[in-house]
């Protein structure tokens, strides 16, 4: 399903897989987000499983998501080392 979303990213404005019972490995998110430059809403609440060794979304990738209005990663545990840089990006965007 997510491969199909990335295949035609210009057509996709909203992706909501919140609370999906199948749940997705968190490791697919970095690749998924890189292909969705025009997305307005990305809702992954409660749909991600496992932890990552690296970032869930790279800050450089967030900077390229110029149309993004809503990003919901709730229920995904963010490590302390990620929290401070992400907070500064969010504050800068507001």
The number of distinct structural domains making up the chain is 1
How buried is residue 35: exposed, middle or buried, by Cβ count under 10 Å (0-12/13-18/19+)? Answer: middle
3-class secondary-structure state, position 29: helix
Range of the domain at 63: 2-93
Q: Which residues of 73-93 are buried (b: 16+ CB within 10 A; e: fewer)?
A: beebeeeeebeeebeeeeeee
Q: Quick: pLDDT tens for 30-81.
A: 888 887 888 899 898 888 877 777 778 887 888 888 888 998 988 876 665 5
Token digits of residue 78 = 């963010």
Rounded distance between C-alpha atoms, residue 75 and residue 26, angstroms: 12
Q: Quick: pLDDT tens for 6-36.
A: 566 567 888 888 888 777 888 888 888 887 8
């Amino acid at each position: 399903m997510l491969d199909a979303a990335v295949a035609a990213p210009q057509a996709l404005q909203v992706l909501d897989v919140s609370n999906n019972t199948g749940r997705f490995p968190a490791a697919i998110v970095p690749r998924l987000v890189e292909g969705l430059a025009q997305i307005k809403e990305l809702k992954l609440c409660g749909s991600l499983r496992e932890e990552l060794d690296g970032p869930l979304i790279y800050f450089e990738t967030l900077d390229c998501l110029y149309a993004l209005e809503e990003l919901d990663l709730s229920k995904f545990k963010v490590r302390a080392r990620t929290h401070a840089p992400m907070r500064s990006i969010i504050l800068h965007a507001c």
